[in-house]
Amino acid sequence: MSCVVSFFTKETFLTGKDEKMILELTYYLSLFLFLFAYAAVLVRFVMLLLSIGWIGYEKKLIRRGVDNYPKVSLLIPAFNEEATIVESLTHVINSEYPDLEIIVVNDGSKDNTLSLLIEAFELKENRKLELTESIPTQSVRGVFTNNAIRNLIVVDKNNGGKADALNCAINASSGEYVLALDADTVLTKNTIKYLIKPVLTDDRTVVTSGSIRIMPESRKYSLLSDLQKIEFVNSISLFRTGWNYLNANLIVSGALGLFNKKIMLEVGGYHNLAIGEDMEVIVRIHRCLLDKKVPYRILQLALPTCFTEPVPSVKDMIKQRTRWQKGLLSSLRLNTKLFLRPRYKSIGLIALPFYFLFEVLSPFLEVLGLLLYAFLLLYGGKTFSFSIFDGFMPVGPWLPLYVWCAGLIFAIFNDWLSITIDKFMLRGMSWKDYGRLLISSALGPFFYHFLQLYCKIKGTLQYFFTIQTSTVWSTKR
């Protein structure tokens, strides 16, 4: 959304040179905010266009035949997941991937997560199976297996947070690649095959991720769930694929991320004090491989898909998005030495500055614009015709409305474009859903944008005014 600034004042508010100076300062500030806001919207639009070409490449890629699939270890950290863990794990066990190891880590759950797993899959404690200690974690209390389901391992450990649980799962894994998956995530039958194909066709590829979608039958229609569907298509399925061209993807969703295990061990696994462990480990992998000057690729894919439940309420969304913002800041702060350094190529020169400017700084600048608009409107009464371009862009009462409407239309157009790409290139929705999402997207800037704005500002302030001593589990990603 555009940062909106008004240009009103009272005739008696300031006079002479002081008035002119304030007006000029306001003008330059408004012009800066205008260009800054539109830069973010333009970048998103360009990324959506780039995603069209990438999807075409990806479709050709998945049609290639594979003789031997490598072993993949599926890592599922679980904390108080009794509502979904059995159903999600059943879907995973029925996956068509030929060589799959499934490792569930119960991170000291306080509900019936462990007992439900033991009962549903007839598990028994296996005292002979010893885990490696490649990455330090909280102590393991027990390991459970079933000889009839030989590829399933359930580890029970003391609570240490999601990052610690993932590290424990890595220690227990024996696959060449590890796939991190949220406990409430449901895979499609071909998801893992699609994720692994870029790795098999290009040995430079060390990480891949896929699309996260809201379960279509998860709950009855609600505007909030529809807006989440639009956001996931726009921001994950499409926007991030544009970064592939620069090899500058900084985020691989914790809900679906495939890693070369050797690389994960080399960087020391997930960081226990990183709030956004999924982003932080990706930036660390970039840093490690760039320091070693090793050719590599980290890819966001559009076709591999998993499904998850939507956040059910505004209250839960605020908690989730606040945590996401703190995770972003944690990752940026832990990697400040990469900023604007040519040695780190597109990561240091483009991606990290982009996230800082448009995800951290932009919300505050937008609020600054809104406050300035309200203040000047309060003292309004006289319009100005001042312009550094001799009237080319006159300052008047309608300019803020023009700016706001232009930003609104462009934001809605971007959403429509992403929905249309998803419908016709990814086949991700029915005609009924397509029509409904087109209507819902027109309401997003009036509600969803300001909700996200609030969460980003709240998360930023909380991050700088609280001390993080460990990673925490949230009820929703």
CATH of the domain at 185: 3.90.550.10
Look at 153-167, 174-188, 403-417, 444-458 and tell me which has the smallest mean pLDDT: 403-417
255 with 206, same domain? yes
Look at 21-30, 235-244, 327-336, 414-423 and tell me which has the smallest mean pLDDT: 21-30
**Location of structure tokens 């990752």:** 331
**56 inside domain:** no
Asked which of 311, 338, 365 is the last residue of a domain, the reply is: 338
21 with 164, same domain? no
**64 inside domain:** no
Question: How far is residue 195's CA from residue 205's CA, in Å, rounded to a whole number?
Answer: 11
Strand partners, 140: 157
**H or E stretch covering 390:** none
- Total residue count of the chain as it appears in this document: 477
How many Cα atoms occupy the beta-carbon half-sphere of 374 within 13 Å? 5
41 with 94, same domain? no
**386 inside domain:** yes
**10 inside domain:** no
Q: Between residues 321 and 275, which one has the greater pLDDT?
A: 321
Question: How far is residue 198's CA from residue 186's CA, in Å, rounded to a whole number?
Answer: 22
Alpha helices in 254-398 (DSSP H): 261-266, 277-292, 314-334, 345-346, 352-355, 362-378
**H or E stretch covering 36:** helix 16-62
Number of domains in the chain: 2
- Asked if pLDDT for residue 272 goes beyond 90, the answer is no
Parent domain of 402:
16-49+354-465
382 with 446, same domain? yes
The values of phi and psi at residue 280, to 5°, are: -60, -40
pLDDT digits 0-9 by tens, 117-151: 999 999 999 988 888 889 999 999 999 999 999 89
- Asked if pLDDT for residue 411 goes beyond 80, the answer is yes
Q: In Å, how far are 2, 25, 171, 182 from 304, measured between CA atoms?
A: 33, 50, 26, 15
86 with 217, same domain? yes
Percent of the chain, pLDDT > 70?
84
182 with 231, same domain? yes
Compute, in degrees rounded to 10, the torsion defined by CA atoms 6, 9, 15, 17. 0
- Whether residue 166 contacts residue 76, with contact meaning beta carbons closer than 8 Å, is answered with no
Please give the order of strands across the beta sheet that includes 297-308.
124-125, 140-146, 149-157, 100-107, 72-78, 177-181, 256-260, 205-214, 297-308, 186-187
109 with 178, same domain? yes
pLDDT digits 0-9 by tens, 43-82: 889 999 999 999 999 999 988 888 889 999 999 999 999 9
221 with 271, same domain? yes
Token code pair at residue 460: 């930023």
299 with 424, same domain? no
The pTM is what? Answer: 0.88
